[in-house]
Each structure stands twice: as structure tokens, then as C-alpha cells.
Amino acid sequence: MNNREADAYTISPELPAMFDGMKMAAVATVLYIIVRCLNLKSPTAPPDLTYQDTPLSRFLLKSCPQLTKEYIPPLLWGKSGHLQTALYGKLGRVSSPNPSGVRMYLPMVDGATATFDLFEPMGNHQTGADITMVICPGIGNHSEKHYIRTFVDYAQKDGYRCAVLNHLGALPNIELTSPRMFTYGCTWEFSSMVGYIKRTYPQTQLIVVGFSLGGNIVCKFLGENMVNQERVLCCVSICQGYSALRAQETFLQWDQFRRFYNFLMADNMKKIILSHRHSLFGGSSGKTIDADLSRLYTATSLMQIDDNIMRKFHGHSSLKEYYEKESCVHYIHNVKVPLLLVNSADDPLVHDSLLAIPRTLAAKKSNVVFALTLHGGHLGFFEGAVLFPQPLTWMDKVIVGYANAMCQWEKQKPPCQSTDLSTKSSCTTEKA
């Protein structure tokens, strides 16, 4: 045996051990990345609540256990706000039902046609009252989205009538009848839907629900005019950002990949706008159309689209004016009815600095409860044991649980102590 063969013989036994060490190091690195990215070591906890100690708040926390019990997301991926958000955006909900409703069309004074879907309850409400949930979905969403269908089906089974606004221009098969589509804070269509429900069902009381952008719209709607709060039992807002002006800078940052989400939402807005190109730009001159479309095609953020297209629908002179006037932060303090504001700490779309708005409001106003979960992402809030989520989410359950508690509170109170503003005023008149 020559020297080369001897060297090979002496080295070869060491190679498997070296490769095994490399494999173990690689596996350990991958596991470390998985644990960090999926936040597997993050604890689970009940929502962090900010509220004032009142008889109503004590009743609500006792009657709505979702607000005080530990929220447990699926073990393997549910602690990642990105995966919660992505699964909501891609899948909506698991085993989504298909509730049967009627589409209603409401002509607006400017020639636009608002649409909403009306779903009757599947049984009597537990209090025996006639209750209607008026629901405003997230950006570019409508009644056919999976998360809306799942929530509506759940609410119907609990005895609620549901009216779901279809954002103007969001439904691909409904043509616009005026050169305008939904914007960040326009309340016209939602107001029209609420007015129809009040006229058609004079005995019904309202639960107002808003998801994401819809949360901004419903809070702004209630705060714009005290009349809007008549016959409203309460309002629930989920995962909104409260101030577009404050949020615009955070949306250009890369932490939590917020800039990437901004790009994706901008791309979706482009598709919606271009699908209504003729209705939105048909009455403009050729040069104006070319300029608007050129800026639209090159836009990579929602702010660019808002500045070049969206603000012009209502004649705002600047992006700052548009965001200032359409954000609920300037109106929400006028809301007198019970108000539940829900956000998630790992929501990649809503920067932590924006959460000071609802936290401060709840600390100052006795009608407001602010619930902040550790996990849930943006409109995710999936629940489950290890891998597969449950069909209903924590979000679905907390909205209906809070609504049930408010309805029970109203039933057991004397009429003159009702939170319904219209009932309060009639009691005052009788006393006088």
C-alpha cells in the first residue's frame, strides 16, 4: 500500500463525522430561524385592555369572556403576524359558508349607486329584540369576501340581521354610475345604507361594525353628527389605523415589511381603478386621462395613488388635506355610544405609534374599551391547536360576544338609562 492510499485510509473516517457536524449546524440554524420568524417562544395572553371602571365596563367584561380569556393562536404559525395576515388575505377563512342575501341598490345625489347586501337573521335574537348589524368591510372589500361571509353566517345564526356595504367600485361585476369610487374616509354610502335600514325597519336597533378601513369609516360616520348615533347600541372597530396622516410615513418604512405590504395594496388599488377606467376618466380630456393614467401606472405606494387619483374625487387640494379630513381621529371623540376598538400588536400594517390614539381615548372616555392582542396580524385572529385553524376566529367571536353583551345590557336597563341616544332624549322630554 503506497503513501497516498494510506493517507486516504486515515482521512476518510473523519469525513462522516465532519459532515454530521455540518448537518447538525445547518439544522440548528434553520430551527433558530424558524423559531425567531414564527415567534414560537412568544407567550400567549389575554388581550391588554384599556378602559374606565364603570358598571357598563364591568358588565361587558363579565359577559364577553373573549375579552378577558387567553387568546391562543395555532401553535406552529399563529404567532406570526405576517402569516396570520397572509392567510387571511389569501384564504379569508376556513370552510367559508355562503349566506343567502339580497343585493340592494341606492342612488346617490351625485349620480353614484351604492350597493349593499341584506341578510335576514336565521332565528330570534336571545333578547327577543330586532337587531341589525351594519357592517363596513376593509379596503376594496365587499360582502362576497370569505371573512365577511363567515362572520355574517355566524351573526345570522345568533339572531342578527346583517347589512354589508359593498365599497363603491369594489365589486367587479357592478359598474360605476358616476366618476367616483370609495375612498379612505367617505361615509356617504355607509350613511345611505344606515338610513335605508332605519326607514325600512323602524323598530330595529343597530350594531355598527367596521373592519380595517371600514373601522375608520364607521367611527368617522358616528362622530360626524349626533343624529348618526340614534338607535345605535354600540360600535366595534377592528384593526384600523385611526390617522392616515400619521400612518403615511410608517407605510414607507421597511420594518415589519410595511413598505412591501404598501406595494401590494397599491397594486390591488390599481387593478380596481383600471377596471373602472371608462367610468372614472371618460369625461376628462385626453391629456388629463393620459396624465392620470401615467401616474397611476408608475405608482408604487397607496400614498401616490391617493395623491394623484383618490383625493380628487372629493376635491381635496392636497394629500395632507385629504388624509386630515378623512381620518376618524378628528371625529371619534364625538362618539357617545359604547365603542370597542380592537388591534393586534403584531399587525404589520398598523404601526405601534398609532395605537396611542385608541389607548388615550379609552383612558379618557368611559364609553370606550381598547383591546390589544399580542397576536392576530391584520384581520387574522385565527384560533387552533397546532396547525389547522378553526373556521371561526377570535375576531368573529369577540364581535358577536360584545354585541350580545350590549343587547343584554340594554334589555335589563330602564328605558331612561338606555345608551340609545334617541331613547334618552325621549325620556328627558317626558320628565320635562
DSSP string, 329-394: GGTGGG--S-EEEEEETT-SSS-GGGGHHHHHHHHH-TTEEEEEESS-TTTT---BSSSSBPSS-H
Q: Are residues 272 and 358 in the same domain?
A: no
Q: Are 163 and 231 within one domain?
A: yes
- 358 and 336 in one domain? yes
Mark whether 124 and 216 lie in a shared domain.
yes
Residue 290, C-beta contacts closer than 8 angstroms, at least 6 positions apart: none
250 in any annotated domain = no
For residues 42-59, give the mean pLDDT. 95
Answer whether residue 190 is part of any domain: yes
Q: Is residue 397 situated within a structural domain? A: yes
Contact present, 233 and 406 (Cβ < 8 Å):
yes
Q: What is the pLDDT of residues 310-352, one digit of tens each?
A: 999 999 999 999 999 999 999 999 999 999 999 999 999 999 9
Q: What is the arithmetic mean of pLDDT over 178-205?
A: 97
Instruction: Give the structural domain span for 90.
Output: 41-243+327-412
Let me know whether 202 and 126 are in one domain: yes
Q: State the DSSP code for 300.
A: -
Could you say which of 277, 300, 326 is where a domain stops? 326
> Does 406 have pLDDT greater than 50?
yes
Of 298, 326, 354, the residue at which a domain comes to its end is 326
**For the domain that residue 109 is a member of, what is the CATH number?**
3.40.50.1820
Per the CB < 8 A criterion, the answer to whether 178 and 279 are in contact is: yes
Q: Model-level pTM?
A: 0.87
Q: Is the pLDDT of residue 38 over 90?
A: no
* Residues 201 and 283 placed together within one structural domain of the fold: no
What is the distance between the terminal CA atoms of the chain, rounded to a whole angstrom? 117
118 occurs within a structural domain: yes
Q: Which residues are catalytic?
A: 212, 347, 378
Among 67-71, 72-76, 243-247, 422-426, name the one with the lowest average pLDDT.
422-426
Domain assignment present for 219: yes
Other CB atoms within 10 A of residue 91 CB: 13
Listed residue (256, 104, 126) closest to 193, CA to CA: 104
**What confidence tier does 30 reach under pLDDT thresholds 50, 70, 90?**
very low
Neighbours of 325 (CB within 10 A): 17
Do residue 199 and residue 114 come from a single domain? yes
Which helix (H) or strand (E) segment holds residue 83: the answer is helix 81-91
**207 shares its domain with 162:** yes
* Same-domain pairing of 302 and 231: no
Instruction: Name the domain boundary from 304, 326, 348.
Output: 326
Answer yes or no: are the C-beta atoms of 44 and 73 closer than 8 Å: yes
**CA 334, CA 224: separation in Å to the nearest integer?**
8
In-domain check, residue 391: yes
CA nearest neighbour of 377 among 415, 348, 355: 348
Number of domains in the chain: 2
Say yes or no: 298 and 341 in one domain.
no
Q: At 177, is the secondary structure helix, strand, or coil?
A: coil
Residue 12 maps to a domain? no
Between CA 326 and CA 141 the distance in angstroms is 18
Same domain, 78 and 194: yes
Crossing angle of helices 286-298/258-275, nearest 10°?
150
Q: Are residues 266 and 151 in the same domain?
A: no
**Domain contains 297:** yes
